[in-house]
Structure 1
Amino acid sequence: MAKHKEHKEDVAGINLSDAKYYLNRELSWLEFNRRVLQEAIDPRTPLLERVKFAAIFSSNLDEFFMVRVASLQRQVESQVATLTPDGRTAQQQLDEISQRLHPMVTQLQELFETEIRPQLAAQGVHLLKYAELNQTQRDYLKQYFQKRVFYLLTPLAVDPAHPFPVMSNLSLNLAVVLKDPETGETGFARIKVPDTLPRLVPLPEEVYPKSDRPVVWAGVCLEEIVADNSAALFPGMIIEEQHLFRITRDADLSVQEEEADDLVEAIAQELGKRRFGGSVVRFQFPPTMSEFVKQTLIKGMKVDSNDMYMTQGWLGMRDFMSLMALPLPHLKDRPWTPVVPQRLRHLSTEQILGKTTTENIFYVIRQGDLLVHHPYQSFAASVETFITQAAHDPDVQAIKMTLYRTSSDSPIIKALIAAAQNGKQVVALVEIKARFDEESNINWAKALEEAGVHVVYGVMGLKTHTKVLLVIRSEGDDFRRYCHIGTGNYNAKTAKIYTDLGLLTCREELGADLIDLFNYLTGFSKQKSFRKLLVAPVTLRDRMEALIRRETDHAKNGKSGRIIAKMNALIDPGIIKTLYEASQAGVQIDLIVRGMCCLRPGVPEVSENIRLISIVGRYLEHSRIFHFHNNGEEEVYIGSADWMERNLDRRVEAVTPVEDPTCAKELKEILDILLADNRQAWELKSDGTYVQRQPTEDNPEKSAQIILMEREGNF
């Protein structure tokens, strides 16, 4: 496994490994989620999109606690003394996370209650609280409770005969304090709000609230219906208190692959532990909760003080994403339909299904490499067409691909099954360790195996994160290899909301490299080198650092040194140190990093030649592009890897050079458009704060994502 090399000397006597030159990973992630929150705050964002970003902010936090906070807590419990590159202990990180996060959560609650909810009501969307309902509305909801909810509820008492209940991850619960009117004794019970019913319960039109304008939708949250009718669960008892609370558990799986006889079975067993078995890492409760109830829950769930989040307002706001389905286009972003790439527009259904042998997608690829950019360009018309035609083309002999995440009812899965049924050799590497998609991927793997697809699970100890597809086609007396190498998952749904790139090519060396890569993934190959591909954990780290150092050497020799790189996260200390050295030599570096970043730009004598922005907009910036000027002989790469230790050392990744001049030029233009953004772009300062760019009279508003849509068609 490749490791970054230590540098024997630092420029000008500056120790580039000093903790003061690095930002903290976890706190940097919180700053990313603050930028997501800002999209909900920003009045320029359409109203329902503001609701969407509030839901994304909340959903992001759920995963952050389930994985990152949980990991830090395990480190504290295990008394791990290792410091992060920025010099913090696990406990210091937990303390600072708590300090930074509480104000952000409060800000979101105040925003939703004072701005977003009233503005929704003004547009005919009424998310009501029970105190706002009239008797007719309450009567309707009581009937709803009796018909749909009552039978799904199981009150669980806590007393010497009833142990403290085990509560599922991300569950909403009611803590109820009861009094026996005959004995005067008090009791405690918990009610789980059913997660099998919609969280937002609509009211029928006949009981809509009175409004000055037409009502589009009105409803309440399910937990309020349960709370208002909970007396039905405790006949003969008096309810003295009831409080809603929510818990988040450690949900990171731990599987010892070397000890697992059956990896699929081992992961399936761990999935049950994710829901119930992990320790509680966040306890959300209202300020009205009594000390008795709070202490009962803290003791029963073994909650630490840092894990307590008093929340004045709505819990589990991720569920509010469902409001995006309302038919209110004027409250959403302008609709966008991905465009079919120009070179593929002539393909007919017959050609896609392989019923002709000339003007098909293989013919198009033979004419020259094709770069596709989602969601601006259609995933269905490019990637899905490629694999669908391969599945039905009689000349295609074999299909090999990696699957990290895919969508339900996936056209990709259907094509692989069809290919196997058509007698082709089909190999699918399904990564069943893809976090939070393990169960789905296990199900896909079983379906593929039943259809005759050869399913493998990758290399022991490594996640297979690479996005590659190889088609082997008989042409004349020989075989030709057609490839798709991408930055994003083979997922039709996320292809509409994530920005990603893919290269369709039949270049001989890339095809040969993919053959070697699949042999590495499916067999016992110990491949140590590749012709063109940069593959982690074999060659990617060393080659990336060499490309950066080449720019450093150019700058030291009086030539121009220039790097532009776009990725999701920049964390790896070895890469950061190499970038610092390049900056010290005079290399001009522009970085576009959507999420976590541990590099400090603009530090005198260290990183003053490095500029860094993050773009947060309607699409999730997911593509990875690496551009090196190379003294005028430019090289550009795309692929699946971020500059993180896990991507460089603990995952199988593939990054490809883009050598076609037209495609390379297109990538450079994309980078230039992103760097010029002054609507969704945030500049990282050396102190770790982000400042959002603002348009001016001399520099009118430029949204990179809108510009990229306009380039493809009328938007």
Structure 2
Amino acid sequence: MKPEPAGTVTSEGASASVRARFGSSEVPASRATQDRIDIPEFAPNLLPEGDIRPDRFLDRELSWLAFNSRVLELAEDPTLHLLERVAFLSIFASNLDEFFMVRVAGLKRRIATGLAVPSPAGLSPVEVLEKIGDEAHRLQQRHAQVYAEQIRPALAYEHIHLMHWDELDDAAKQQLSAMFAEKVFPILTPLAVDPAHPFPYISGLSLNLAVVVRNPVSDKELFARLKVPDQLPRLISIDGPRAGAIPGRVARFIALEEVIAVHLDKLFAGMEVLEHHIFRVTRNEDLEVEEDDAENLLQALEKELLRRRFGPPVRLEVTHDINPNIRALLIRELGVEESEVYSLPAPLDLRGLSVIAGIDRADLHYPKHMPHTSRFLNESETSKAANVFSAMRRRDILLHHP
């Protein structure tokens, strides 16, 4: 007979261990199975006092990032319908925005107030924040890569084009220029920065253009900030609202900020526009209301909502081709750390892809779900609904609510 390999527990050995412990050769099967946890290979990772070790836990914030990574995996899945993948790209971006506004902001607040208590996973808020930064940078780069290398080409194959200005024909350019003059120009407000005008407030999640202009008379350069208006569609349809819904018919879209950028000379008349860059700020929008302590909950909420609007920045997104001097200016004026800067290829803020995901193309979406009532909840001889409790007394009924 071959000797058993080292570390192998035979059934005889296990039975002897159980008999020695319980003083009987007739031990219930469940007790014998339970006894296996005393064998080192099966023992839980316990501290001497019986508590589970911290490394057996997952940190809540890092676990949430792992969840959003799985959302991104759905956008990467070539077996899914194309516009569903586009929707997942948009959902990922929206999820990550909320994560920074609430979860990351909460961590930074605890660190600032000295409440840096380690999580059940054994990580301090500072350690969690560092890990979040590493993973979030990786995820955002992957997100941008999926859009540029997979989704945009796949949309073009289906005649849905996300265009750049220099890819448009003259007719489309004239159409967009007329639209800019009529609908966009009147609501734009460029704000220059100089000794008499401090750096303006940048609202959370807004898209902005950092513009550098030169005065031809004094030869002096100025920095100006221009907010992309959020009351207009982020992606402008060039070929009409229904173009994308017709298979084989070309549907072209262009980002609003790109249309604004090519018309900057209209906004800075008499100035020479040297360069422009897109940036976006995410602010702390976590609510801090103690419901039990607040004498007037409504007033407390109003105060907190006002404070939230001016919360400190927790993330700065810039295009990867940004001028280093402009980048340094934004970091300094917004008070963010270098680790909180996310350098990405344009376009920023892919939440705007929800417009594309909403195109009515049945062949590019999941089949529509047709709800129906279980036959056990319909009266057998009439079209009236059955009494739910009577039906439940007769049998179990499985219901699915998507």
State the shift of 1:333 in Å. 0.9
Secondary structure at 1:160 match in 2: coil
- The within-5 A match list for 1:410-421 is none
Partner of 2:388: 365
Q: Deviation of residue 273 (structure 1)?
A: 3.2
Partner AA of 2:388 in structure 1: I
Aligned to 2:354: 321
Encode CA deviations 1:332-361: one digit per residue, 9 max, x unaligned. 1111122223344469xxx9xxxxxxx667
Aligned mates of 2:238, 2:360 — CA distance in 1: 17
- Report the Cα distance in structure 2 between the residues aligned to 1:360 and 1:219, rounded to whole angstroms: 48
Among 331, 343, 347, which residue is 1:310 paired with? Answer: 343
CA distance in 2, matches of 1:265, 1:72: 25
Contact residue 153 and residue 191 of structure 1 kept, 8 A: yes
Answer whether contact 2:317 2:344 (CA < 8 A) is retained.
yes
**2:273 alignment partner in structure 1:** 239
Whether the aligned pair in 2 keeps the contact of 1:94 and 1:306 (CA below 8 Å) is: no
Give the structure 2 partner of residue 587 of structure 1: none
User: Which of 224, 249, 265 in structure 1 is aligned with 2:258?
Assistant: 224
Q: Give me the whole-angstrom Cα distance separating, in 1, the residues matched to 2:293 and 2:214.
A: 52
Change in CA separation of 1:85 and 1:366 when aligned onto 2, cut-off 3 Å: closer
Name the aligned partner's letter for residue 285 of structure 2: A
**Match of residue 262, structure 1, among 296, 303, 313:** 296
Q: 1:293 aligns with which of 313, 316, 326?
A: 326
Q: Among 218, 222, 240, which residue is 1:187 paired with? A: 222
Give the Cα separation in 2 of the matches to 1:67 and 1:145: 35
Aligned residues: 352
One-letter code of the match for 2:278? L
Counterpart contact for 2:283–2:311, Cα < 8 Å: yes
2:332 & 2:378 partners in 1: Cα distance? 64
More helix by share: 2
Does structure 1 residue 166 correspond to structure 2 residue 198? no
Q: Report 1:595-610 matches (<5 A).
A: none
- SS of 2:121's equivalent in the other structure is coil
Q: CA deviation at 1:216?
A: 4.2
CA contact (8 A) 2:104 2:129 kept: yes
The one-letter code matched in structure 1 to 2:194 is D
2:278 match: secondary structure: strand
Offset of 1:48 from its aligned partner?
0.7
Q: Which has the greater radius of gyration?
A: 2
1:249 to 258, 272, 283: 283
> Aligned pair in 2 of structure 1 residues 110, 57: CA closer, same or farther (>3 Å)?
same
Q: Find the residue that maps to 1:190 and give its secondary structure.
A: strand
Q: Counterparts of 1:677-688 in structure 2 under 5 Å?
A: none
Alpha-carbon deviation of 1:200?
Answer: 0.9
Task: Give 1:481-560 correspondences, 5 Å limit.
Answer: none
- Given that 1:65 and 1:250 are in contact with CA atoms closer than 8 Å, whether structure 2 keeps it comes out as yes
The Cα RMSD (Å) is: 2.6
Query: Any idea what SS the aligned residue of 1:72 has?
Result: helix
1:55 aligns with 2:55: no
Distance 2:294 2:59 in 1: 34
Structure 1 residue 368: deviation in Å? 4.3
Which amino acid in 1 is paired with 2:348? L
Residue 271 (structure 1) aligns with? 305
TM-score (normalised: structure 1) = 0.47
- 1:606-617 equivalences in 2 (<5 Å): none
Match of 1:84 in 2: 119
Give the secondary-structure state (helix, strand or coil) at the position aligned to 2:342.
Answer: strand
Q: TM-score, normalised by structure 2?
A: 0.81
Q: Structure 2: which 5+ residue stretches go unaligned? A: 1-36
2:17 is the alignment partner of 1:283: no
Q: 2:184 aligns with which of 141, 149, 161?
A: 149
Unaligned runs of 5+ in 1: 1-9, 352-358, 371-659, 671-707, 710-715
- Aligned partner of 1:662 in structure 2 is 396
CA distance in 2, matches of 1:269, 1:345: 52
For the residue of structure 2 that corresponds to 1:136, the secondary structure is helix
Q: CA offsets per residue over residues 407-454 of structure 1, 9 Å max, x none?
A: xxxxxxxxxxxxxxxxxxxxxxxxxxxxxxxxxxxxxxxxxxxxxxxx
Letter aligned with residue 263 of structure 1: L
CA distance in 1, matches of 2:372, 2:348: 39
Letter in structure 1 aligned against 2:118: L
- Residue range with higher mean Cα deviation, 230-239 or 133-142: 133-142
Quickly say closer, same or farther: Cα 1:272–1:230, change in 2 above 3 A: farther
Selected match of 1:14 from 46, 49, 55: 46
Matched residue, 1:31: 66
Q: Mark the CA change 1:245 to 1:269 in structure 2 (over 3 Å): closer, same or farther.
A: same
User: Partners of 2:302 and 2:218 in 1: how far apart?
Assistant: 48
Deviations 1:209-268 (A, max 9, x none): xxxx83342110111111111221111111111101111111111224345443234323
Q: Aligned runs of 1:380-459 on 2, under 5 Å?
A: none
Classify 1:279/1:346 alpha carbon distance in 2 versus 1 (closer, same or farther; 3 Å). Answer: farther
After TM superposition, give the deviation of residue 45 of structure 1 in Å: 0.9
Cα deviation for residue 81 of structure 1 reads: 3.2
- Which residue, 237, 250, 267 being the options, matches 1:202? 237
Q: Which has the higher contact order (CA 8 A, sep 6+)?
A: 2
The counterpart of 1:94, out of the listed 124, 129, 135, is 129
Label 1:34 to 1:138 Cα distance change in 2 as closer, same or farther (>3 A).
Answer: same
* Alignment partners' CA distance in 2, 1:343 and 1:163: 69
Partner SS, residue 257 of structure 1: coil
- Kindly, what percent of the aligned residue pairs are identical? 37
The CA distance in 1 between the partners of 2:124 and 2:395, in whole Å, is 48
Shift of 1:277: 1.1
Q: State how far apart, in whole Å, the 2-side matches of 1:325 and 1:302 are.
A: 37
Number of the residue aligned with 1:626: none
CA distance in 2, matches of 1:114, 1:251: 33
